[in-house]
Amino acid sequence: MSLRKKLTSGFIYSILIITAIFVLYPVVWVITGSMNPGDSLFSTKLIPESLSFRHYTYLFQETDYLIWYKNTLKIAFWNMVISTVLVVTAAYAFSRFRFPGRRQGLMMMLVLQMFPGFMGMIAIYILLLQLDLLDNHWGLILVYAGGSIPFGAWLVKGYFDGLPRSLEEAAKIDGASHVTIFYKIMMPLSKPILVFIAVNNFIGPWMDFIFARLVLRTSSKKTLAIGLFEMVTGRGNTEFTTFAAGAVLVALPITILFFIFQNHLVEGLKAGANKG
């Protein structure tokens, strides 16, 4: 190996190592902070001398953490199901069919991606109020599912466009309907991008605070984002280590999903980006 290649490899690995340190250090800090016996996240050492699981016990025994967790899991699951169905069917229609308003619909979805979601908060609030869906998990689920369509449909459409039409033509010759082609040919071939969309839509509600705070009011319907935020707001709330423990538990299902579907996520993201 030439000196130039060695220097290039050394520079790349140095950048990767530095990036990994910057990414992993806050994670390790939060995990160790969640096991700090006191109420402060700050410690003289990265790993304190004494570690305790008292904050995790407190979360389950003294707070409504389990209720928040159940609510968030319910919202995330149904958002994943509904949004994936809407995204995939819309993408298939835009990819394989030609109909009046198709180009305008694609342009509208492209334009909608340019505006942040919170710009429509007032309109969404009034709409949910008229539909009697305020302080209702289904109101939040419908907002999340509808908001995921523009980006997801564009991504999945790009993947569908890269699949050969000869497979569908052969199936039509054999007498298969559009529904049969969609479920028995397109869906199995699109597993990577479907997994990416499903997992991405599952993760979204775990992180969101703004819309959940806007829609949900009752204590029994709070999500994890709202409940944990209230732990560290106000003059009397100093439960920073308990907040850290809750944050660690929030990351568990997302981390598990990432490790299970890691190959599909990477492959789906690359395929959706390259096949257009």
Quick: pLDDT tens for 117-173. Answer: 777 788 888 989 998 988 899 999 999 998 888 888 888 888 888 888 888 888 888
Task: Give Dmax (Cα) for the chain.
Answer: 72
Is a pLDDT exceeding 80 seen at residue 3?
no
Calculate mean pLDDT across residues 59-84: 92
Tell me the per-residue pLDDT of 187-232, one tens digit each, with 9 for 90 and over.
888 888 888 899 889 998 888 888 898 888 888 899 998 988 888 7
- Structure confidence at residue 71 (pLDDT): 94
Helix, strand and coil in the chain, % to nearest 5:
75, 0, 25
Question: Dihedral of CA 273/178/146/94: which sign?
Answer: positive
- Structure confidence at residue 235 (pLDDT): 52
- Structure confidence at residue 276 (pLDDT): 43
The full set of domains in the chain, from first to last, is 1-52 (no CATH), 59-274 (1.10.3720.10)
At residue 81 the predicted structure's pLDDT band, cuts being 50, 70 and 90, is very high
Q: How remote is the C-alpha of 158 from its chain's centroid?
A: 20
Cβ atoms of 149 and 162 closer than 8 Å? no
Q: Tell me, what amino acid is at 248?
A: V
Nearest to 203 by CA among 79, 39, 28: 79
Calculate mean pLDDT across residues 25-33: 85
Is a pLDDT exceeding 90 seen at residue 79?
yes
Residue 50 is given by DSSP the state S
- Structure confidence at residue 175 (pLDDT): 83
> Which residues are CB-neighbours of 40 under 8 A, at least 6 positions away?
240, 241
Task: Using the structure block, give the residue that is written with the tokens 């209230």.
Answer: 230
In the chain, count H helices and then E strands.
15, 0
Rounded Cα distance, 228 and 242, in Å = 9
At residue 41 the predicted structure's pLDDT band, cuts being 50, 70 and 90, is low
Task: Using the structure block, give the residue that is written with the tokens 């149904």.
Answer: 78
- Structure confidence at residue 142 (pLDDT): 92
Cβ atoms of 92 and 160 closer than 8 Å? yes
At residue 275 the predicted structure's pLDDT band, cuts being 50, 70 and 90, is very low
- The pLDDT mean for the chain works out to 84
Tokens of 243: 């907040």
More confident of the two residues 84 and 99: 84
Calculate mean pLDDT across residues 266-272: 61
Is a pLDDT exceeding 50 seen at residue 274?
no
**Residue 257 class from Cβ within 10 Å (0-12 exposed, 13-18 middle, 19+ buried)?**
middle
Is a pLDDT exceeding 90 seen at residue 180?
no
- Structure confidence at residue 76 (pLDDT): 94
